[in-house]
Amino acid sequence: MMKFTFDVTVSATTDDLEVRLMCDQDPNKNVGIGSLKIDALETEDHIPPVLQLIGPSFVTVLLSSQYVDAGASCTDAVDGVLAPNMTTSVSTALVGLQSVIYQCTDLQANVASIARDVQVVDDSPAQVVVRAGLYICVLEQDSYVEQGAECIDNYDPVTDANVTGLVDTSIPGTYSVTYTCTDSSGHTSQNASLVVVISGAPPGNLVVQLFSLQTSRSGMRSEGGSCPCTSWAHREIGLC
């Protein structure tokens, strides 16, 4: 009788198996066959894998920027290193708090989950666009019609600006009107216009020092310095 020794390795995941032993040293005789039934006992595993975030559990990302999550790692005591699945993603087109959720499942269907909070923030205030321009002339005793300003934001829809400042057309002089925009993220921006109320007295008695700015904006004469308000102001309001 011949003796053979051999090793059989059974992994934790191997189903029951049968090892068949064949001996055919003598070709003139029937092949001897023996079998060895091996029952692979399942390893009891009710413990989920250890799932950990790579990087912090809270991050801040700018609106409309590219976000790439740092990932997660997963290790199971029985199954070893496993690949976690990212079940949600972040849209940087939306301001607010979002979550990236990872799950990891071992071979016994034990599940681990972990989440990273991602705050998408808008750091840009709205642009304040004054409808009537930054320099306006009104004749004394005429009515001043406030045309307001638009808040043009990178995220919020266009809205009207909040207007502060009074113009008294009964008193010639220069008035400041302030336009304020506050976007949904709380960023405030302002712009202001100067409203010149022109005296009804004969022209030439009121000089506007901002003439060079006005002409630059309106594309009229570009010489600097000052000039009587009534000459350019009348053009501005359509009287000449």
**Residues at the contact surface with Ca ion, assessed by CB under 5 A:** 122, 124, 153-155, 183
Mode of pairing for the β-strands spanning 111-121 and 58-62: parallel
Pair of tokens at residue 110: 């034990």
Question: Least distance in Å: CB of 155 to Ca ion?
Answer: 5
Residues 6+ apart with CB under 8 A from 145: none
- Order of strands, sheet of 162-164, starting from the edge strand that comes earlier in the sequence: 135-139, 188-198, 173-182, 162-164
Q: Which is nearer to Ca ion, 76 or 183 (CB)?
A: 183
Q: Which H/E stretch holds residue 120?
A: strand 111-121
Q: Shortest distance, CB of residue 63 to Ca ion, whole angstroms?
A: 8
Q: Which two tokens stand for residue 85?
A: 């699945």
Q: Determine the residue with CB nearest Ca ion.
A: 183
Q: Closer CB to Ca ion, residue 126 or residue 198?
A: 126
Cβ proximity to Ca ion: between 64 and 216 the closer is 64
Q: How far is the CB of 154 from Ca ion (least distance, A)?
A: 5
Question: Strand order in 85-86's β-sheet?
Answer: 58-62, 111-121, 96-105, 85-86
Instruction: Compute the least distance from the CB of residue 120 to Ca ion, in Å.
Output: 12
Nearer to Ca ion, 127 or 231 (CB): 127
